[in-house]
Amino acid sequence: MNLQMEQIPDLFTPQGSKKESWFLEGPQSRRKELVFLFDVLKEFIKGFRTLHFIGPCVTVFGSARFKEENYYYEMARQIGRKIAEMGFAVMTGGGPGIMEAANRGAKDAGGRSIGCNIILPKEQKPNKYLDKWVQINYFFVRKILLTKYSYAFVVMPGGYGTMDEFFEAITLMQVGKTKRFPVILFGTMYHKQLIEYIRNMVTQQTINPEDARLFLCTDSIAETIDHINKFAVQGFGLKRRKKMQPFSWLGERRINSRIAQPIINTD
């Protein structure tokens, strides 16, 4: 395979917003920097306020491009259902493809289905299987929200965005910035070359051998759920406790679900 980039200047033309362009220029006026900080703060407040009562989640990452007839779409739907049956809310990026499939599976089971959608130049609309969602402008804010409420991560086949989310999750664990949450890389054939690349990192000593064991790679839904149960439910001592009550005067509401949710043991 020829991996050389074609010499097409248009590929390197910036396609971001004006906000991103001036942000990359370096120091701005104090007023502009303060406005940007408040803009980011508003994004976080909006995300925290929207997602406050969703309960413990498992986040499912994957391609937005797979259609309903795709094998991995069906696998993601089944995984979403099984995760919901465990009592977790199923969180995704809120878009189509794998994200839609996982959210759909949660709805099939009567569980909670959550989306954290990114606003893109080419609009990505929230899928129709969401109970609750928030739309975010900044990728770094969205990535924090996708991880803040989650005790496990299921990485289905996907593209650049999915790989970004996968490597961020295992990097944070590698350097000790987060606890060792279960991460499942689903699809051994799809990720075969990625696994070989990671093994080469070990051979070249750019990562330690134990870093290659920060995730499970599997084709089995049962193994996926067992891994989450062992290292998220049992590993973090999740148990049932009284749900936090929303304040109606703040416009807060709970997401109805016919499945009881696990809560972290704070004893």
Kindly state whether residue 106 falls inside one of the protein's structural domains.
Answer: yes
217 occurs within a structural domain: yes
Cα separation, 231 vs 183, in Å, equals 10
Domain span at residue 71 reads: 61-242
What residues contact residue 123 under an 8 Å CB cut-off, 6+ apart?
Answer: none
- Whether 165 and 146 have beta carbons less than 8 Å apart is answered as yes
pLDDT of residue 17: 59
Lookup result for tokens 């049932």: 240
Tokens 């995730």 belong to residue: 215
Residues 6+ apart with CB under 8 A from 55: 88, 89, 112, 149, 243, 261, 262, 263
Query: Which two tokens mark 136?
Result: 């975010």
Structure confidence at residue 28 (pLDDT): 81
From first to last of its 267 residues, what are the pLDDT tens digits of the chain?
455 555 555 555 555 556 666 666 778 888 888 988 999 999 999 999 999 888 899 999 999 999 999 999 999 999 999 999 999 999 999 999 999 999 999 999 999 999 999 887 665 789 999 999 999 988 899 999 999 999 999 999 999 999 999 999 999 999 999 889 999 999 999 999 999 999 999 999 999 999 999 999 999 999 999 999 999 988 888 775 555 555 555 555 555 555 555 554 444
209 in a structural domain: yes
Inside any domain, residue 259? no
Please state the pTM of the whole predicted model: 0.84
Element holding 78 (H helix, E strand):
helix 71-85
**pLDDT number for residue 264:** 47
Q: Which pLDDT belongs to residue 267?
A: 41
What residues have CB less than 8 Å from 165, skipping those under 6 apart?
61, 143, 146, 153, 155
Q: Are 265 and 239 spatial neighbours (Cβ–Cβ below 8 Å)?
A: yes
Domain CATH number, residue 66:
3.40.50.450
Total tally of structural domains belonging to the chain: 1
Per the domain annotation, does 186 fall within a domain?
A: yes
Indicate whether 132 belongs to any domain.
Answer: yes
198 found inside a domain? yes
The answer to whether residue 4 sits within a structural domain is no
